[in-house]
Amino acid sequence: MTVKIFNRPDIQDFLKVLSGLDQNGGNPRVKQIIHRIVSDLFKAIDDLDITPDEYRTGIAWLNELGAAGQAGLISPGLGLDHFLDERLDAIDEALGIKNETPRTIEGPLYVAGAPESKGFARLDDGTDADGHPLIMHGTVYGSDGKPAAGAKVEVWHCDTRGFYSHFDPTGKQAPFNMRRTIITDENGRYKFRSIVPHGYGVPPGSPTEKLLSALGRHGQRPAHIHFFVSAEGHRKLTTQINIAGDPLINDDFAYATREGLVPDLVERTDEASIKANGLAGPFA
């Protein structure tokens, strides 16, 4: 037996009442959004004949998701973060704003308050024995095309097991390991030494993984490094780079890979360049 009750006038009135639209007070924007989302949910229950058992399974999963602190993890997994970026891109395009470096999603694992230094930082504390040294450097340009001195480059990435400091299930990383803030020098330049990160995988057995596997999907990301770039009088850029050659580059569960964000890697083995990059000895 299937019934459709969504369009009944009493149900439509009920939606207005439960979202507070029938009275003053409260927050009009919250009322508008809740009215729309609950309406869409009512309609989905009606259209798909979602049963009370199915609905309660969903509620139990939401409780599990919240208890695990994973709302911010399933969100990119369901493409919502990428969709928000596509909207920002579309707004920029409509305004005629061209972004030289594409934006991509922040993800749920940024931590504010990383140690700050000028021009250069070493990100890793040297305790990841499998780490392959990585050097990255570049220039931050303002929207005027000129190098931006004193810009802030916040960098964060995971270790060779795919674990981020502050979120390491083994508890083995020091706070802010592989997280730094670099202020660009007088020529707008930044440079850092770290190690090549591994890809990331959602925690095994977690509510996020359970939903993804019910969708027949994996919860893996290709190896990547996150950035916030900001400067006085400018919009903040949120972006990432991928490590070229990672087999998952075009199979990211969080849909963050974008053209222009997969720089070439160069393996340096000559003495002069190793020395110049300080890889042989301690870094100043």
Residue number with CB closer to ligand MBD (164 or 190): 164
User: Is 176 in contact with 156 (CB distance < 8 Å)?
Assistant: no
Compute the least distance from the CB of residue 278 to ligand MBD, in Å: 27
How many helices (H) does the chain have, and how many strands (E)?
7, 10
Residue 211, both tokens? 């939903």
Q: Which does 254 bind (CB under 5 to 8 A by kind): ligand MBD, Fe ion, none?
A: ligand MBD
* Residue, CB closest to Fe ion: 107
Q: Which does 76 bind (CB under 5 to 8 A by kind): Fe ion, ligand MBD, none?
A: ligand MBD
How many residues belong to the site for ligand MBD (CB under 6 A)? 10
**From 36-44, 56-64, 102-110, 275-283, span contacting ligand MBD (CB under 6 A):** 102-110
Q: Which does 152 bind (CB under 5 to 8 A by kind): Fe ion, ligand MBD, none?
A: none
Using CB under 6 A, which of 65, 109, 155, 262 touches ligand MBD?
A: 109
Pairing mode, strands 220-221 and 152-156: unpaired
**Under the criterion CB under 6 A, does residue 222 sit at the interface with ligand MBD?**
no
User: Is 197 in contact with 243 (CB distance < 8 Å)?
Assistant: yes
Contacting residues for 68 by C-beta, under 8 A, at least 6 apart:
203, 206, 207, 208
Q: Which helix (H) or strand (E) holds 201?
A: strand 200-201
Nearest to 148 by CA among 157, 140, 138: 140
Exposure string of 178-195, with b = 16+ CB inside 10 Å and e = fewer, is bbbbbbbbeebbbbbbbb
Residues in contact with ligand MBD, shown as a per-residue x/- string from 77 to 96 under the rule CB under 6 A: --------------------
Using CB under 6 A, which of 65, 70, 74, 107 touches ligand MBD?
A: 107
Instruction: Report d(CA 161, CA 197) in Å as an integer.
Output: 8
Using CB under 6 A, which of 15, 70, 74, 76 touches ligand MBD?
A: 76
Strand arrangement of the beta sheet that strand 237-242 belongs to: 116-118, 179-183, 152-156, 224-230, 237-242
* Residue, CB closest to ligand MBD: 107
Residue number with CB closer to ligand MBD (102 or 108): 108
Residue number with CB closer to ligand MBD (53 or 259): 259
Which residues in this chain contact ligand MBD in the complex, by CB under 6 A?
73, 76, 105, 107-109, 200, 221, 254, 256
